[in-house]
Amino acid sequence: MPRKSTAPGGLAVGILNALKRTGGLWFGWGGETTQHEPGEPDIHIRAGVTYATIELRQVEYELYYNGYANNLLWPLFHYFLRDMRYSAEERDAYENVNRIFAQRLLPLLQPQDLVWVHDYHLIPLGRLLRESGLRQPIGFFLHIPFPNIEMLRVLPAYAELLRDLTHYDVVGFQTENDLRAFHSGIEHLFGHEAIRADNRIRVGDRLLHADVFPIGVDVEAIQSQATAAMQTDVVKRMVDSLMSRALMVGVDRLDYSKGLVERFNAYQQFLETYPENRGHITYIQIAPLSRTDVRAYANMRQALEQVAGRTNGRFGDTDWTPIRYLNRNFPHTTLLGFLRAANVGIVTPLRDGMNLVAKEFVAAQDPDNPGVLILSTLAGAARELSTALLVNPYDTRTVSHAMQAALEMPLPERRERHTAMLEVLRRNDLSAWARRFIDALEQSAGMQAHVRVAG
């Protein structure tokens, strides 16, 4: 959603960079709530991108965003059933907000526009635009995992969700696993014969193209920004404060899917198992607060503070803090400087659609003396970054061993692993992701068009 002060993140960074290349309109919620019915979109231009943003009523925002989207769809799609809460009232608000989006977006569209809808907040939008008479190609890209039908069936409205997705011309997923999970739902609802060998799906008179479009990063821009960030005061102060200690960095939004509690426990086990590292490594975990109104996040924040405090209290010294745990955001370029300075980048989500921090870490590194990436096998990025140190985030002992292996890895091996990952990032960069999706959407209608993004 195009908030006027967009925080760094996979969806925001990825779509903004893609739009700057293609031009177009980004439509969505502007980050403001009201007690009244939302008015007409606020249209403004920034960095060559036109934004059309609307307000949402506070009560509907709570039910739609904090409720159905993030208390139900987010945990369900990430396989965290214990955190899932269903409410018919929240389901109605989800439908109503998407209808408001459709009503406000429709007058802004031109005959040659393509519409590219992003993420789980807006799954019904394609259907609602069709019901309003829109005939232009509409694509949908899911940034998070898609659950297998045996998981999806827990959702009372699972059939409606699957049918909503069939109103798009192109549906994109991050990984082959997500595509197979989508196929399992289509087969369950419409029969195996609905799925064709060319990744197209026939439902009634509609032909849908479902495929894998792994999102990438702008490698050249990240390398340039990360190198420049090393000369900034904030990054220099951070490096000086290490006093020549090794640095391990994690950058994650505060979310239970990111595996932060398990990661903190693994680091504690690492210090227990390899005591020679005490006083010689600093682990900085940046975790900006997320969805603070959702109870599960408040509970996780408390758990992290307890683990970090226990580790620092047990192993810390007067001149050494083992974990620096920061609940704040930094400018994206500053984060890239932190990543470049790190000897170890740790990305260990319990489940993730892609995770662009893993890719940014690789792109930000000095090729002559690269650090080592520790990456969860349950992140979509693991399918591409196969020469990272791959770990199961639930196995804290194995993660602790990977920390030691990363610190001991000789330079030739680090270069070899980094070179292989960098080649993959260049081949599947941000431009390739956007180009492949837009090409597929254009081919669905045999046209070239302008892009309109709803996200």
Choose the catalytic residue: 143, 167, 209, 401. Answer: 143
Is 183 considered catalytic here? Answer: no
Please list, in sequence order, all residues whose beta carbon lies within 8 angstroms of the beta carbon of residue 328, skipping any fewer than 6 positions away.
Answer: 286, 288
Where does residue 290 fall: left (phi above 0), alpha (psi -120 to 50 degrees), or beta otherwise? beta
Determine the Cα angle at 250 with ends 418 and 383, to 5°: 45
- Tokens linked to 438: 């837009």
Q: What would the 3-class secondary structure string for 135-179 be? A: CCCEEEECCCCCCCHHHHCCCCCHHHHHHHHCCCCEEEECCHHHH
Q: Are strands 42-46 and 49-57 parallel, antiparallel or unpaired?
A: antiparallel
- Chain position carrying tokens 């394609």: 126
Contact 426, 90 (CB under 8 A): no
Minimal CA–CA distance to 13: which of 294, 426, 355, 261? 355
Of the candidates 113, 147, 142, the residue with the CA atom closest to the CA atom of residue 129? 113
Retrieve residue 203's tokens: 């439902």
The span from the CA of 247 to the CA of 240, in Å, is 11
Could you tell me if 175 and 212 are in contact, meaning their C-beta atoms sit under 8 angstroms apart? yes
Of 164, 352, 401, 418, which residue is the catalytic one?
Answer: 352
Distance CA 266, CA 182 (A): 34
Question: What is the per-residue DSSP string for 42-106?
Answer: EEEEETTEEEEEEEEEHHHHIIIIIIIIIIIIHHHHTT-GGG----HHHHHHHHHHHHHHHHHHG
Half-sphere exposure of 4 (CA within 13 A, CB side): 10
Q: 352 an active-site residue?
A: yes
Q: How far is CA 373 from the centre of its chain?
A: 18
Beta strands (DSSP E) in 289-388 are 323-326, 344-347, 372-376
Residue 56: beta bridge partners?
33
- Give me the residue label for tokens 């929240």: 90
Q: Which residues are identified as catalytic?
A: 143, 352
